[in-house]
Amino acid sequence: MRIRAIVAAVSGALALSALAVPAAQADEVHGDTTISNVVVNGGKPVVVSATAKKTVTVTFTVKDGSGVKSAMAVLWHGSDFDSADSGAVANSSDGYASCSAVNSTTSTCKATYDFEQGYNAVNSVAGTWKVWTIASGKDSDYVQKDNTKTFQLQRLSKLTVNAAPEPVKKGKTVTVTGKLSRANWDTEKYAGYTGQSVKLQFRKKSSSTYTTLKTIRTDSSGNLKTTTTATVDGYFRYSFAGTSTTPAVSAAGDYVDVQ
């Protein structure tokens, strides 16, 4: 899983910051330097599939009365920064963000970060991540914070549905099966998401709105199966509300002709 390697990289980024400002402890402010407006991935959760590397952008604003000298952001997971169990350092050659001056005292800073399966994206670190930041002014003022922003790192989810028989006589039973799965970053495959509540929904052929018929739970393999009564032509689907580690997902509706 190479967790140690990415933690070492995070530690290396912290060491790099010492080249720009005096050694800092958690949440230090010296002078008038400020960091604000931290946005990770456009404000959306970072959702990573089972196989494809995910690159995200982080932007933030830095202000200092003397002008902005440098800035850095490190993404990390764990109880505290010093014992982070995973992280991501900016893709730049030196780990710093690229900052563009808005005016003499304010800069907008930007950097990209990669999440890779089996490297810094492993199953155990799905959930809430934090952003460590540091920035310095041209007069050597600086600010450093362990947690300027939180965001969710999630395992991509998939959901299928099949309603049968098709067609079906009015008043007869329709059996609806499906499966909820999500990315397993450790194996780089998809696996069933067990014990999760999923809604069976239906919309009439003439409607654009789904109505929930019942809620069932996935079995030990992530499978879904239930029955309902055929009334009118329409679409059946399963819908999952999501969790902190896994995004919401709805299956494409499966049309059933009721005769």
Higher model confidence: residue 151 or residue 5?
A: 151
Cα distances from 5 to residues 2, 87, 120, 206, in angstroms, run: 5, 10, 9, 56
Residue 14 has pLDDT above 80, yes or no: no
Reported in sequence order, the residue ranges of the chain that DSSP labels E, i.e. its strands, are 28-30, 34-40, 46-48, 54-63, 68-77, 86-89, 98-101, 106-115, 127-137, 142-155, 157-164, 173-184, 189-192, 197-204, 211-217, 223-229, 234-240, 249-250, 254-256
Tally of residues, the chain: 259
Distance CA 28, CA 18 (A): 13
In terms of Cα–Cα distance, which of 180, 169, 167, 172 is closest to 225? 180
Cis peptide before 165 (omega within 30 of 0): yes
Domains and CATH numbers, the chain: 3-154 (2.60.40.10), 157-256 (2.60.40.730)
The tokens 């362990």 sit on which residue?
146
Residue 2 has pLDDT above 70, yes or no: no
Q: How confident is the model at residue 205 (pLDDT cuts 50, 70, 90)?
A: very high
Distance CA 1, CA 11 (A): 18
**Would you state the pLDDT for residue 195?**
98
In terms of Cα–Cα distance, which of 243, 253, 120 is closest to 182? 243
The one-letter code for the residue type at 138 is: K
User: Whole-prediction pTM value?
Assistant: 0.90
Cα distances from 200 to residues 117, 196, 237, 247, in angstroms, run: 32, 13, 6, 18
Which range, 6-10, 19-23, 75-79, is most confident?
75-79
Residue 151 has pLDDT above 60, yes or no: yes
Higher model confidence: residue 174 or residue 11?
A: 174
Higher model confidence: residue 9 or residue 141?
A: 141
Q: How confident is the model at residue 24 (pLDDT cuts 50, 70, 90)?
A: very low
Percent of the chain with pLDDT over 90: 88
Cα distances from 7 to residues 52, 88, 97, 141, in angstroms, run: 21, 8, 19, 27
**Would you state the pLDDT for residue 19?**
47
The tokens 């998939």 sit on which residue?
158
Per residue in 47-58, pLDDT (tens digit) is 999 999 999 999
Q: Tell me the pLDDT of the chain averaged across its residues.
A: 93
